[in-house]
Amino acid sequence: MDARPGQQQTHRELATEGSPLEALVAFYRAFNTGDLDALAANWAPGERPSMANPIGRIRHGWPAIRAGYQALFEGPARVQVAFHDFTPEGGDDWHLFVGRAEGTCVLPDRTIPLRIRTTRWFAKIDDAWRQLHHHGSIEEPALLAEYQTAIFGAPLATPMA
């Protein structure tokens, strides 16, 4: 889709059907609405995918990743994030997005701003772009501790494993 003169295209406009960017947009739509079925359609199936983030620890395989999302969605926090300031890089059967996710973690008594350095790797599997890996990091120790406390009741005492 071409932008009109003087207008910049949004990433959603560039996310053409069947593109890796469309898969990225679909991930955030599914995450922000708590849609586990749509997340399952976005992630690679089986034991291939992996995820490492401030509250998910390191998870291997879609079943473990799904369990992490389900626990988050069923907990007291409502997390909403948007991906921006990213660089895409890819080939015919892989695509990497490196950028930042920003948003909020809303609890009954407070709202925590989120700033997460994020990498998402997609691979073309059976003619569909599927997420194969996600890594997220919160670079600010106090923010990381506050976020982990909101989700777990206390900061994690051990490294993510």
pLDDT, one tens digit per residue, over 58-74 is: 999 999 999 999 999 99
pLDDT digit string, tens, across residues 19-58: 999 999 999 999 999 999 999 999 999 999 999 988 877 9
Query: Total structural domains in the chain?
Result: 1
Residue 93 belongs to a domain with what CATH number? 3.10.450.50
Would you say residue 123 lies in a domain?
yes
Supply the pTM of this predicted model.
0.85
d(CA 49, CA 125): 12
Would you say residue 66 lies in a domain?
yes
Percentage of the chain modeled with pLDDT above 70: 86
Would you say residue 28 lies in a domain?
yes
Helix (H, G, I), strand (E, B) or coil at 161: coil
d(CA 129, CA 152): 32
Would you say residue 159 lies in a domain?
no
pLDDT digit string, tens, across residues 99-144: 999 999 999 999 999 999 999 999 999 999 999 999 999 999 999 9
Would you say residue 4 lies in a domain?
no
Enclosing domain of residue 67: 12-152
Facing residues of 115 across strands? 102
Strands (E), 27-143: 50-53, 57-60, 78-90, 94-106, 111-125, 128-137
Would you say residue 74 lies in a domain?
yes
Would you say residue 161 lies in a domain?
no
Would you say residue 7 lies in a domain?
no
Provide the token pair at 88: 């895409």
